[in-house]
Structure 1
Amino acid sequence: MRASDGHHLTAYRPAGDVLIDGYVRDLGRRLHGPAHAKRDLLTEVRDGLTDAVEGYREGGLPPDRAEELAMAEFGPTGRLAAEFQAELAAFSVRTLAVRIALVTGGLIFSANLMWQGAPWTGPRPPATYLMLSSGIEWLGAGCAALALVSLAWLTVTARRGRPVPVRQTRLAAHGLTGSLALHWLGGLALYGWSVHLWTAALTWPPMIIGMVLLCVAYGWLGTAARRCLAAARPPAGA
């Protein structure tokens, strides 16, 4: 990393702490995203700073001066936070995309299992019900396709060694989250309409098991979506 000419580093010195600790803590306060991914990035920075300090000290510099030069080499935390926030956003988008692909892909092949062999009979559903059901299936397929496209794009970008484009990453995060929310709301509406048309569905075991599994799956997706939106925000102080 390039040094930042003229950058005043004494502001990173907290009372009673080592300069590097204050630098890493300030960087950590600026970042949003999954705790374990953020922790790994901060550990990487601390290790790099420690190695740089050791190198300067072996050259005969006093500890404080060695730490200041090491931090100057890394640059101000604001600039570093922007780079790392992009990495956290990409990591979060990748995680959400994998979960969406798994859940929506599974639904495409298993959703009808809740209805097969159902013992009740009733009137043919209205045309709007059938349209909603078909629309949800298409929306699920669209969610899965968007997730796969996002994964492919992030993989190609990483293999080419290019920095992650922040604007496109945020667009992917909001697109995945928005499509997931629409799919969930549509599925909830369809379920409510179904039990209204066929009240026996409330006591049909495959339906009960299916809804429990769906709630668990969407809770899993919702956690990833929340973290993804948080990671897509600009770093604090940007």
Structure 2
Amino acid sequence: MIEAYLAELDAALRGPRRAKTDLLAEARDHLVEATESYEHSGFSRQEAETAATRDFGALEDIVPGYQAELGWTQGRRTALMVLFVFAVQPFIWGIAYPRVAVTTIDSPADEVVENLGGLTILLALLMVLAYRIGMRHPAVRQRITRITGLATIVVCVLFIAFGALLTALSPDGLVLLWMITFILAPMSWTALSAWRCLATAVR
């Protein structure tokens, strides 16, 4: 009965694999401990498992709290990913690229990208801070995962679009390689994490 209960709980939850595994392991430990306690009180194994799962709670009552925790984990991971990806962009394009490029990127779009990058870094810092604040404020916890996912997807789409524009405007073929490596790949990776935020957010 415990394994059947845990299988249903597993099927109902969406989120990072490791965090989900940890939550299910904690639930299993609690149920096994409760079952053993009932057995020591004279219950049969089946009766003890029935009582343990009943005490643990119905799935419709348990799942929202567990799902919120998984969404929280995914959202915080995405916020940190955005901060890392955009924090290294000034080094990649301001220091590394000019050392190997034949020509430099010089267009109004380049300035827009730099300003948008700085704004995104600030936004990512605020999101990371919001996750720290949200640990003490349930109202923040309920909304921040979805906000993180939506904001990150918008930013990633904008940067991919501007990256394509800069590639088209530059005569240097190296720009295409760098755009794929340092814009398209990391932005797609980050957008996927953001999509998972929307999938794990409690509705």
Same fold by TM-score, threshold 0.5 exceeded? yes
Give how far 1:226 is off. 2.3
Using a 3 Å threshold, how does the CA distance of structure 1 residues 195 and 85 change in structure 2: closer, same or farther? closer
Letter in 1 for 2:186: A
Bigger Rg, which one? 1
> Compared with structure 1, are the counterparts of its residues 175 and 229 closer, same or farther at alpha carbon in structure 2 (3 Å cutoff)?
same
- The reply to whether residue 20 of structure 1 matches residue 40 of structure 2 is no
Paired with 2:192 and 2:156, the residues of 1 have a C-alpha distance of 14
Mapped partners of 2:113, 2:192: distance in 1: 26
SS at match of 1:199: coil
Please show how residues 219-230 of structure 1 align to structure 2 within 5 Å. Answer: 219-230=188-199
In the TM superposition, what is the alpha-carbon distance from 1:144 to its structure 2 partner?
A: 2.1
Structure 1 residue identity aligned to 2:198: L
Residue type at the aligned position of 1:63: R
Percent identity between the two aligned chains:
24
- How far, CA to CA, are the matches of 1:100 and 1:54 in structure 2? 46
SS in 2 for 1:116: helix
Question: C-alpha separation between the residues in 1 aligned to 2:202 and 2:94?
Answer: 38
Q: Aligned-pair distance for 1:149?
A: 1.9
8 Å Cα contact 2:15/2:196 also seen in 1: yes
Residue type matched to 1:120 in 2? T
Higher helix residue share: 2
One-letter amino acid of the counterpart of residue 162, structure 2:
L
The equivalences for 1:119-134 within 5 A come to: 119-120=102-103, 125-126=107-108, 129=109, 132-134=112-114
Aligned to 2:171: 199
Deviations 1:126-175 (A, max 9, x none): 5xx36633542343223322332233224xx2xxxx5x72x533532232
Gaps of 5+ in 2: none
1:82 is matched with which residue: 49, 60, 64?
Answer: 64
1:26-79 C-alpha deviation (Å, 9 max, x unpaired): 222221112222122112111111111111111111112111211122111111
User: Is 1:187 aligned to residue 167 of structure 2?
Assistant: no
Task: Answer yes or no: is the 8 Å Cα contact 1:169–1:232 preserved in 2.
Answer: no
Change (3 A) 1:216 1:194: closer
RMSD: 2.6
Equivalent in the alignment of 1:150 = 130
Residue 65 of structure 1: aligned partner: 47
Aligned residues: 202
CA separation in 2, counterparts of 1:219 and 1:209? Answer: 14
C-alpha displacement of 1:88: 0.8
The aligned counterpart of 1:16 is none
Tell me which residue corresponds to 2:187.
218
Q: Unaligned 5+ residue runs, structure 1?
A: 1-18
TM-score, reference length from structure 1: 0.73
Query: 1:94–1:30: structure 2 CA closer, same or farther, 3 Å change rule?
Result: same
Instruction: Name the aligned partner's letter for residue 211 of structure 1.
Output: I
- Given that 2:159 and 2:183 are in contact with CA atoms closer than 8 Å, whether structure 1 keeps it comes out as no
TM-score, normalised via structure 2 length: 0.83
